[in-house]
Structure 1
């Protein structure tokens, strides 16, 4: 997709002066352009269609927080609209190449899938979220655009939280509250992610004080909405992020430790035969009627056995639920889901994709970068361990936001006041002119 750039003149090369006129200035790519005030056009007065390229991504962020099915249906068109409106070819990086490669590998699993129909649905979902990631990373080229997408997502998540509160008042006996047609776990994960995006905006110090005060008020709203869903992974995630922020403030630069612990938990929990230990304390703490983590302790051994049947290439994208004798649900584990769907090959590609996105976030650049990267990893680890978040539109758009942290945390330019005119500049020097 990426095309080579044509040969351009070096910006260090001396340009010839025009006879009887001003010397031409040099553009950032080295081409001369006419100098003088008449040739300068204020950027704000030009009609620029590329400025609207962020709107499809904003729409995807709003819809993703409300109902993922809407994004799966129209996400490809939204990504295409964003890329076309930008008016330029995206510069594809390693993370973008890996996203495309994962989709190609998922498409290849159709040749050996145990459930062709389910695999076709999963493959379309993979392509949708991957192209949304590429389009979002392409158009989020400025701090203002990034804030627009983040604000759009918070608007959708805020509406979802309010609807959950209204539904809980109508049915006070419900143990878990969700939106109609949307999985309760997905809604809970979206609200946790909304809390993380709110932390991003607070760390980036967006807007004036009233705006930041409103962001602080959103945190308890998302927290209360998460409690209404009754999803234990999300509740643990909120507590873990709060604890991480405190620890990082005391210790500093704990993001690398958070990544290591997360990787260990993702492998050890589903493959560590947790069912032998029967963690009753989780059931007691959250007062849930099921004592097997809502069936996960029964599903994980089945998913592990299915994984070892075809460890290298998997059994086909999205094919495990139809072969699962327990409830016909997914593996509810990132590692087991990727292992069954795409095999070890897909797991390695996905891990490399996350690694390159973290590299683009540059957590070593400043304390703020490290805090946000660590908070995202800590907040998503309980979700990755026990839920389905691998092809969520919200997850991939959030990864696109985090990969642009250097843009989000860049200090906004400070406009200097115009200099006062020097009244003495136009006067003759008294005493020297006769």
Structure 2
């Protein structure tokens, strides 16, 4: 058996895989006083540049990369007029630059289908680890009257990361013919993700998960109605079973869905969002063109919290210019995924990603999320992949068998 020589590309793939694996649950884990995530991200960037130098070429940036880079540059410039320069410097260094780096590295390396699958499995496995930790810690967090999480990470961050894995799982399930045991593992990871998301008590994440699964089923119902209805029924049964194992405090938080259906939406506790949004709007109106500085809003509002709305936060902190760049970049990504993907499966995954991202973006702190942007890059790369010939042959055989 011939042993393949270890190259810079192999090392790059390994470090990128590690970064993706730990992004959902170990982003604040320290190694020698430094974030392990940032150590591996720095190594990945250095290897990425080195690999490109050795190959002697670098692919031209696509509109998504250009848009994100321009947004980061504008965020950096906002430091000079920021109301809180120290917060601006921190959000640029720890949030926006990391997100842009992950988006570019993931989207470019995932042009290789094998690496694309490797990164997808790495992210799914990371979310399984996060789910196990959340489920294992649930009783301890509940005893302290807190929502289950991983270490000191915000419970919403964990929940948003977990539900973002759903479009990844759906893309992996539908773009290749897998053995039954492997498909069962992926479906099992989806179930574990849903249960862990419910335990975190994140209402926005649970809504995102439900919309994602519903949109995916609706799209597939046009081709396989009976199978879709079966999966809908099984999903509903699973949610009912999961509900019985939730701590009482978490059930009370999730009762918001019953309140919405009862028509009493005005009585919902939005955890300060209803108070913070008008403040953000006022700052935006007073600093229309350039904003108050990236990351500065948390330091200037009387509540001391983030905006909890992606577009409102971007508008407040970077003005109309930043909002326009950011919105066009996100629009390009979803337009490419939903309308220009080469395969139906990635189009469906793009719709699922939109269903996940939208409620999170409307209620959460997700504008510079490393997780969101690495999955954006991962799916964007898949939009250029050709369909798997074996999968097409398998589908044709199934249609023939059904016909006869």
Give TM class, smaller chain.
Answer: 0.7 to 0.9
> RCO higher in 1 or 2 (8 Å CA, sep ≥ 6)?
2
1:81 correspondence with 2:81 = no
Query: How far apart are the structure 2 equivalents of 1:408 and 1:208?
Result: 22
1:332/1:386 contact within 8 Å kept: yes
1:97 correspondence with 2:61 = no
Residue 318 to residue 45, structure 1, CA distance change in 2 (3 Å): closer
1:404 correspondence with 2:389 = no
- Deviation, structure 1 residue 192: 0.3
- Counterparts of 1:276-291 in structure 2, within 5 Å, are 282=257, 284=259, 291=268
2:171/2:345 contact within 8 Å kept: no
What residue is the counterpart of 1:159 in the other structure?
A: 129
CA RMSD in angstroms, aligned pairs only? 2.7
Stretches of structure 2 lacking an aligned partner (at least 5 in a row): 29-34, 224-254, 262-266, 392-404
1:65/1:394 contact within 8 Å kept: yes
- Number of paired residues? 343
Residue 57 to residue 410, structure 1, CA distance change in 2 (3 Å): farther
What residue is the counterpart of 1:19 in the other structure?
A: none
Query: How far apart are the structure 1 equivalents of 2:149 and 2:138?
Result: 9
Stretches of structure 1 lacking an aligned partner (at least 5 in a row): 1-42, 253-279, 415-434
2:334/2:354 contact within 8 Å kept: no
- 1:354 pairs, out of 330, 342, 359, with 330
- Counterparts of 1:257-276 in structure 2, within 5 Å, are none
Of 207-216 and 227-236, the range deviating more from structure 2: 207-216
What residue is the counterpart of 1:52 in the other structure?
A: 11
What residue is the counterpart of 1:313 in the other structure?
A: 290
2:81/2:293 contact within 8 Å kept: yes
What residue is the counterpart of 2:272 in the other structure?
A: 295
Query: How far apart are the structure 2 equivalents of 1:249 and 1:295?
Result: 38
Query: How far apart are the structure 1 equivalents of 2:189 and 2:301?
Result: 39
- Deviation, structure 1 residue 319: 0.1
Q: TM-score, normalised by structure 2?
A: 0.78
Query: How far apart are the structure 2 equivalents of 1:349 and 1:97?
Result: 10
- Deviation, structure 1 residue 108: 0.3
2:284/2:315 contact within 8 Å kept: yes
Q: Name the structure with the higher helix share.
A: 2
Which of these two proteins has the greater Rg computed from alpha carbons? 1
Q: TM-score, normalised by structure 1?
A: 0.73
1:127-173 deviations in whole A, cap 9, x for unaligned? 12112211222222211101111111111111110011111134554
